[in-house]
Amino acid sequence: MITLYHNNRCSKSREALALLEQSGKAFTVRYYLDQPLSVAELTALLKALQLPARDLLRSKEDEYKALDLANPVLSEQQLIEAMLLHPKLMERPVLQVGNKAVIARPADKMLALLA
């Protein structure tokens, strides 16, 4: 199963969607701002990305600064909880194909997963 975690207001996310549409493969779009991920889904996505939660955070968002998410003492669980409460903190777009995923910035990073 192919899933694109997508924010239509993001130009990079729209580029990834266009590339995915051109691939001809069947996929699902998850508008994660409207349908936030659960703890289990976010944890599974991080496992598929093979990244710690900190690497999926958007550090330029106001919430990142307001919540002091740069603080190195914050646990993995605290960072996950921050993304659950504030989905726009999650980097985008993310493409997941089965048990593998990639942050598609730039969109070309998706090509290896789609091959």
- The confidence band for 14, taking pLDDT boundaries of 50, 70 and 90, is very high
Tell me, yes or no, if 10 is annotated catalytic. yes
Residue 13 phi, psi dihedral angles, 5° rounding:
-70, -40
pLDDT, position 61:
95
Q: Are 90 and 5 in contact (CB under 8 A)?
A: yes
- Which among 2, 10, 44, 74 is annotated as catalytic? 10
Q: What is the pTM of this model?
A: 0.94
In which band, very low, low, confident or very high, does the pLDDT at 6 lie, cut at 50, 70 and 90?
very high
Reported confidence tier of residue 100, pLDDT bands at 50, 70, 90: very high
Q: How confident is the model at residue 30 (pLDDT cuts 50, 70, 90)?
A: very high
